[in-house]
Structure 1
């Protein structure tokens, strides 16, 4: 996640969190996301097209199909939980300008104020369009949209402003790892439609070997939470907020 507004937090929300796996995040004006949002292990049928090397058009079509698939999935989960849902704005670009300002770097971004996902098609995507890696741009950022709709991002912004630098780092990790877990929940239903070109075991192994990020945390923990969401198939498995620090470092 790369946002124009950096948001993270936890400490003051501790009293709002349950200790068990059924709690997925802070309660901020809406019901907590619990396992009612994800017990169904049924497959989600989505028509996700192939990607042609060097083709911007095919990458746009792929991202649009992924966005439609993620939107259907989360709309159904929110409806089952009795929580209001609205779709994010999705922008797919090859440039650096977006609805939330100028994009720095590559990849995808979530813009909280605009409730928008911005996906940047890069030269690397065009040269080597690895389906699962590109699909993850949508799945992870939709996880941040879920956090926005349930009040997590807004609550955490306030907490982040009061935190020390060290605490901010940990809070950022908790935020990002929950988004990874939500991506895993989505994959539990949609992976077959994505046709990732890699086994789940190999994908998680690749995530573990990724480069460490100060914002996102250790790759082994990102892999742990993504796999936890995938195997659990429910948002209730995504409570990074009360997890031991060794799982969110």
Structure 2
């Protein structure tokens, strides 16, 4: 992927030196767009033995009865985080501050990719007579506070519709490569493009409608609808890839990197790798075949109407 020298987005908050734990012991792991069932989000609590269990129980009880937050929803939520389920008001974000990490290569890379998504989606919205308000990307280390609640790096990148920001701990890319076998810069770009896809869904009304509907859904029905939402975000990521290819930015093998990443983070592949068997009714992102197929559909067409995951079979 020929990204060096490209425009870098200014819509970035660097919180990597803030230690944003919000006063919760060990932080709480929230669901993310590329959440892996690695168990990493609970290690700080489990390591304390029975005291850790008591702390966890106390946190769950506080969330359940004092804040109207469903703690199980925090642990299993899908690729976007629902502000409406927390009842929290949007926190004031601290101003971006320069850090020693601000100019490292990976930071430059994600800023460039975000700028490319801004260019593509601004053009698409403009073609329909609309303006595209871009999301802000928040860089964090370990854990972070958003308008949707608290998240740990173990949960993976996520988008919060409540503050229109996408959050990522860049160490995630090491795990994507070494633990899940999805390497390459275009695979990494696909991660951001998927989260930006959730932002597009938020703007066009898909996320607000889904978050309203799932309040009255069973867990199984909500999971099934979440799969359709996630697959559409994959398709939107493919649309971004389509226009990126037209600009001559992609290189040989880039598409294969993204398709491999989509396969490696399918619900069936992750469950089989982590627990040795699959539970289809618990899928909330889509199978490996579905995720790669919908990304490819958006990549091939470059059209929004090719990404209707809500009509018919997926």
Same-fold call, TM > 0.5?
yes
Q: Match of 1:102?
A: 150
Residue aligning to 2:171: 122
Q: 1:125·1:134 contact (CA, 8 Å) conserved in 2?
A: no
Secondary structure of 1:186's aligned partner: helix
Q: How far did 1:6 drift?
A: 7.7
- The corresponding residue for 1:179 is 233
Looking at structure 2, the residues matched to 198 and 167 of structure 1 have their Cα atoms a distance apart, in angstroms, of 37
Corresponding residue pairs, total: 199
1:77 aligns with 2:132: no
Structure 2 partner of 1:232:
301
Distance 1:56 1:107 in 2: 22
Structure 1 residues not aligned, in runs of 5+: 8-53
Cα deviation 1:160-204 (Å, max 9, x = unaligned): 111112211110000000000000011001146554662424642
Partner SS, residue 289 of structure 2: helix
Give the TM-score of the pair, scaled to structure 1.
Answer: 0.71
Alignment check: 8 A CA contact 1:107 1:137 kept: no
After superposition, residues 80-159 of structure 1 pair within 5 angstroms as 80-100=127-147, 101-104=149-152, 105-122=154-171, 124-125=173-174, 130-159=184-213
CA–CA separation in structure 2 for the residues paired with 1:242 and 1:123: 33
* Residue 189 of structure 1: aligned partner: 243
Distance 2:288 2:102 in 1: 30
Identify unmatched segments of 5+ residues in structure 2: 1-32, 34-78, 85-100, 269-282
1 CA distance for matches of 2:226 and 2:127? 29
Aligned to 1:207: 262
Q: Distance in 2 between matches of 1:235 and 1:158?
A: 23
CA distance in 2, matches of 1:193, 1:108: 27
> CA 1:206/1:63 → structure 2, altered by over 3 Å: closer, same or farther?
closer
Q: Flag the 1:110–1:205 CA change in 2: closer, same or farther, 3 A.
A: closer
Contact 2:263 2:289 in 1 (8 A): yes
* Compared CA separation, residues 224 and 108, structure 1 to 2 (3 A): same
Return the offset for 1:4.
3.3
Question: 1:109 deviation in Å?
Answer: 0.8
Aligned to 1:243, what secondary structure does the other structure show?
coil
Q: What TM-score does the superposition give when structure 2 sets the normalisation length? A: 0.57
5 Å-filtered alignment, 1:2-13, equals 2-5=79-82
CA contact (8 A) 1:56 1:121 kept: no
| Conserved 8 A contact 1:5-1:111 | yes
